[in-house]
A and B are shown apart, each in its own frame.
Chain A
Amino acid sequence: MNQVPGEEIIGFEDTLTNITERIRENEGRRKRVAEALQGFRCMSIGGIGGIIEQSLVNRVEIDPMADSTVAGVDGGMLEQQLHGLDLVIVRAVAAIFHYRGGGLDWVKYFPGEIPFPKLIDVAEPLDAKEFEFLAGMERQITEIEVAIGAAEENVGMLLLDGSVVPQYVDRFPRNPLLLDRYQKLIGAYSTLYQTCQENGVLLAGAVKDSRGGRFVDVLRKKVLPAFGNLGLDEKDLAILERSRDTVLLDHLLGVGERTPSFTYAEEPAAYVLQDLGIWAAKIHAFYLKTVPFDRPLRVEFVDCSQGVTESADRIASKVYALASNHEAFGLPSVLIEADARARLAEEELCIVRDSISDRLGPSSLLDLRRERRPF
C-alpha cells in the first residue's frame, strides 16, 4: 500500500521532535551531574585512575605574553583516487608568533609562508581503508617533520593542531608500505619529543573537536564511586556512559579553568603508546575552557622534564592567552594562522592531476568512471 505523502511529513516531524527531546533530556541530566560535581570542585581526586592533580577544577593564570615565542603547526591534505594510481598532496606549516607586551610583535613561518606541497603517489594496490591510513600517516609525517624543524627555532611552546600522539593508524598492517610508513611516523614523533626535550620547548597539541571520553570514564568508574556517587541516581549516572568529555565539562568548567591533568591512556602500554617507548608515560591531557561560548579545549602535552603539573600549568596559561580572544571560538590564534597557511585548494590537486594527464597524452584514462559520467 502506498504511503500518503502527508504521513511521511508527520513521521519526519515526530522523529525530529524525539531527537530534540532526547537531547534536551540528556543535557538536563548532564547538567545535574555537573551541578553535583560543582559542590566538589576542590575534592581531592589526585592519583585516582591516572589523574595527576588533586582538584577537580583548577584556576588558570593567563600568561601576559610579555616576551614569548609560540609555534603552531598544522597540515593540509588532499587526496584523489585515480585509475591505477592514487595521489596525495600534503602541506604543513609552522606559524611562529613572537609576543611582546601582550601583543603580536613579529611572525615567521617554517619552512616558509606558503611552502610548496609535497606530492605522494601510490601505485600499490591498496584498498580504500589502507589508502586512508596511508594518506593520514603521510600528512602526520609531514606535519611532525615541520614541527621538529620549528622546535629548533628557539620557541617557548610548540602547539600541534590535534593530538601529540599518532592518530588514525593501523599498528599491524599487512602491507609493507604501510608498515614502513608507520615506523617512519613513530620515529618522527619520537624525534619530535626528543627535540623538544633537548631545546626546552613545551610540546602540546590542541584538539579542536575532541571525541575523547577518558576523563568522564574515570569520573564515572573511579572518582564518583569513591565519593558515594554524590547522591546522583542511576539514570543520571548512566548518562555519563553516553557523554564525551567536552559535553560534560562544558557544564562544569568556567572560563579560565581546567581539569586536572590525566594520563593519555589508562595503561601506558595500550594502543599506539606501546610503540612510543619511554615517551608513552609522559603523555598527558587536560581540558581548558578558554571562552564563555565555546566548549572546553582538549590539550594534550608531553611532559619533557619539568613535572606534569608544572608543564600543565605553563601550557594552560599560554593556551588560555592565545585562545581567549573570541568569545565563541576558543582555539589558539597561532593554530588558526597555521591552518590558513597549510590549507590546500582543490585546484592544487587538479593542477597535479592535469599535469600528469598532460604528460601521458590524450589517450590516458586516469579518472575513475564515477568522475567521467557523461551527464
Chain B
Amino acid sequence: MEIGTVIASLEGPSPSKFSFVVTDDGRSIPVRLGQFVEVQTEEGNLIAFVTNLVKTNRYFMRVESVREYERGGKSLSSIFPADRWEYLVAEAQCLGVRSENRLERTTFPPSPGQRVCEAEPNTLVDFIGLSKDGVSLGDLRHHKIPVNLDLTRLLRKHLAVLAMSGAGKSNFASVLIEELLARTPEIGRPAIVIVDVHGEYKGLASLYPDKVEVVNGNDLKIGVPNMNAYQFTEFLPEISGTQTRELQRILEELRAEMRAGNGPFGMDELIARVEKDGGMHKQLQQALVGWLYELRAFGLFDCVDKPSWEGMVRPGKAIIIDFSDMTNLRKKQMLLAYAARKLFNARKRGRVPPFVLCLEEAHQFVPSGESKTAAIARPIIETIAREGRKFYASLMLISQRPVRLSTTVLSQANTNIILRVSNPYDIEHIRQSSEAITGDVADMISSLPVGEALVVGEAVNHPIFVKIKRRRSKEAGRESGLQEAAREFESKMNRSIEDARAFL
C-alpha cells in the first residue's frame, strides 16, 4: 500500500536516508515509528526503516500567534482551517536493496517524488531472515508478520535478554522455552537447563509435566569424588598452589581406593584423610583442613552428584533448578559453576545433547568487575560463552542490570533481546555491546511498551521490534499484587497465632 512520496530536504535523499511526506489516505495513523517501508529505485527494491516522524503545521509554528489567537478562549482550529495544513513527514533509514533475490547495501539514493509503500510481508520475511521452522516469538511490530527465528541463528552464539524489572523478561524466556519444548525430534530439540532464581518458571512443569522437571536447589549435591583440586580452587580462590597440589594428591589417593572397592567418599572422608596425612607440612595441612571445613559448612557436598546431570539432560526436556528458597549467593554460584562445567564437559564429549543454559539474573552469576570469590561461576560461564558455539552449548543470559554483567559474556551473546530499559547507563552499555544498535534504535529502547522487544544481532539481518506473545504457562505466584500478598500474609499469621492459642 502506498503511504507517501519521497521529498527533497537539505540532507537527502541520500543512499543512507531519505524523508517522505505521508499521503493522507484517511487512516488516522498511516505510518508509525519503527515501520518498514519500500521504494522502487534504479538499484532495486529499497527497504527502509522509519526512524522519525515529524508533523508540521504553519498555523502553529509561531508561539506568540497561537497564544494571541487562542487568548479569547477559541481554539485556532475554530478560526482557521488549521487541520488542512498539517503534514506528516517521515524520516527513513535505508537498510538495503533487494535486487535479483539478493540483499545489497544501498549505493544510490531514491529520487524525490518516488512512491513509498508499506513493505510487503514476503519482502520482509526475506529481508529480516525469518524462518518457517523457526522459533515463534510474536509478531513484527506494525506488520502482521509472525516472527519465527531460526533456532541456530538465535541460540548458537548465545542470547542475552536485557530489560528492566517488569518489562517482560521472564515472559519472553518462557515463550522461548515453551517453543523449544514444543519442537518435534524431526526439527531438532535441544535440552534446556533453567537456573530459576525467583521460581518464575515452575509453571512450565504444570504445562509440560512429562517434559519439565523441577529440582529444588537445596536438594542439589556435588559428588566430591567427581571434583578435582582445581575445581576446589574455583570455590576457594584463596587456596595456594601448594595446597592445591597436596589436595589433588589426596583426592587421587581416595579415588584409587574408591576404585579398589572402598566405595565413594564425601567431604568428611576427605577432611579426615587430609588431617591424617603424614607427608604434609603441618601449617599447610591445618590451613587446608580449615578451607575444607569452610566448604563443608555449605552443606553442598556428598559422595555422589545429585541429581546425575548427564542422566537428566535429555533432548526436548527442561530442568528447572529452583533457587528461590536459597538465599546464599555463594552457594548458588558454586552449584551453578559445578553444574555448568559438568554439562559443558559432557557436551564436549557428546554425552549430553545440545543444550541451552538459561541464567535468570545473570549479573548475579557472571558479574562484571567482582573478585574471583564473589564470581565463582564466572570462569566457566565465560568459557561457555567463548567456546560453546563449537559444541552447541548455548547460553541464554537474562538480566535487568546489563551494566553489571560481564562484558566478556555479554559481547559473546550475538543476539540481544532487549525489552524496556530506562537506566541510561544500561542503555549505553547495551549500545556499546552491539554495533547493530544505532543511536536512533537506542533511543527507542527506553520507550518500549511492556512486552515489546528489540531483537538485534545474529538472529536477524536487521534490528526488529517484536510484540512478544504471551506465555502459555502460568507465572508462579506473581499475579496477586502487593495488596493481596500483604493481606494473605496477615491472615496466615493470625491463623498461626490462633492455632498456637488453641493448642495451649
B144 CB–A CB distance under 8 Å: no
User: B81 — nearest CB in chain A belongs to which residue?
Assistant: A107
**A336 & B68 in contact (Cβ 8 Å cutoff):** no
Closest to B71 in A: A327
- The answer, yes or no, to whether A365 is at the interface (CB within 8 Å) is no
Would A340 and B74 count as touching, CB distance under 8 A?
no
User: Is B58 interfacial (CB 8 A cutoff)?
Assistant: yes
CB-CB under 8 A for A336 and B80, given A325-B69, A326-B65, A326-B68: yes
A288-327 contact mask (Cβ, 8 Å, vs B): 1 or 0: 0000000000000000000000000000000000000111
In the bound complex, CA of A103 to CA of B79 (Å)? 7
Is B85 among interface residues, defined by CB-CB distance under 8 A?
yes
Q: How far is the CA of A107 from the CA of B85 in the complex (A)?
A: 12
Min CB gap B465→A, angstroms: 36
Q: Is the CB of A340 within 8 A of B85?
A: yes
Among residues of A, the one whose C-beta sits closest to the C-beta of B68 is A326
C-alpha gap A362/B69 in the complex (Å) = 51
Contact of A97 among B65, B74, B81, B85 (CB under 8 A): B81
A63 CB-CB contact with B under 8 Å = no
Counting chain A CB atoms within 10 Å of each CB, which of B68, B71, B80, B85 scores highest?
B80
Given contacts A325-B69, A326-B68, A340-B58, whether A104 and B78 have CB atoms under 8 Å apart is yes
Q: B58 CB to closest chain A CB, in angstroms? A: 6
Instruction: Kindly supply a per-residue 1/0 record for chain B positions 46-63, scoring 1 wherever the CB is within 8 Å of any chain A CB and 0 otherwise.
Output: 000000000000100000
Q: In the complex, which of the residues B58, B69, B78, B81 contacts A326, with contact meaning CB atoms closer than 8 Å? A: B69
Q: How far is the CA of A263 from the CA of B68 in the complex (A)?
A: 35
Task: Give A293's nearest chain B residue, CB to CB.
Answer: B68
Which of the residues B58, B72, B78, B85 comes within 8 Å of A103, measured between beta carbons? B78
- Asked if A104 and B72 make an inter-chain contact with CB atoms under 8 angstroms apart, the answer reads no
Name the A residues within 8 Å of B71 (CB-CB): 327
Contact between A328 and B84 (Cβ–Cβ < 8 Å)? no
Is A333's CB under 8 angstroms from B80's CB?
Answer: yes
Interface residues of A in 330-358 (CB under 8 A from B): 333, 336-337, 340
Q: B206 on the interface (CB 8 Å rule)? A: no
Of A97, A103, A104, A340, most B-chain CB atoms within 10 Å: A104
Provide the bound-state CA to CA distance between A340 and B85, in Å: 10
A279 within 8 A of B: no
Distance, CA A327 to CA B65, complexed state (A): 10
- Using Cβ atoms and an 8 Å threshold, which residues of chain B touch A326? 65, 68-69
B77 within 8 A of A: yes
The distance in angstroms between the C-alpha atoms of A121 and B414, with both chains bound, is 65
A103, A104, A329: the one contacting B68 at CB < 8 Å is: A329
- Are the CB atoms of B84 and A113 closer together than 8 Å? yes
Q: How far is the CA of A95 from the CA of B77 in the complex (A)?
A: 15
8 cross-chain CB contacts under 8 A: A104-B77, A107-B81, A113-B84, A325-B68, A325-B74, A326-B68, A326-B69, A340-B85
Q: Which residues of B contact A (CB under 8 A)?
A: 58, 65, 68-69, 71-72, 74, 77-81, 84-85
Supply 16 further A-B pairs (C-beta < 8 A) apart from A104-B81, A333-B79, A337-B81.
A103-B78, A104-B77, A104-B78, A104-B79, A104-B80, A107-B81, A325-B69, A325-B72, A326-B65, A326-B69, A327-B71, A329-B65, A329-B68, A333-B80, A336-B80, A340-B58
A residues engaging B (CB < 8 A)?
Answer: 95, 97, 103-104, 107, 113, 325-329, 333, 336-337, 340
By Cβ-Cβ distance, the 5 closest A-B pairs, closest first, are A107-B81, A103-B78, A326-B68, A325-B79, A333-B79
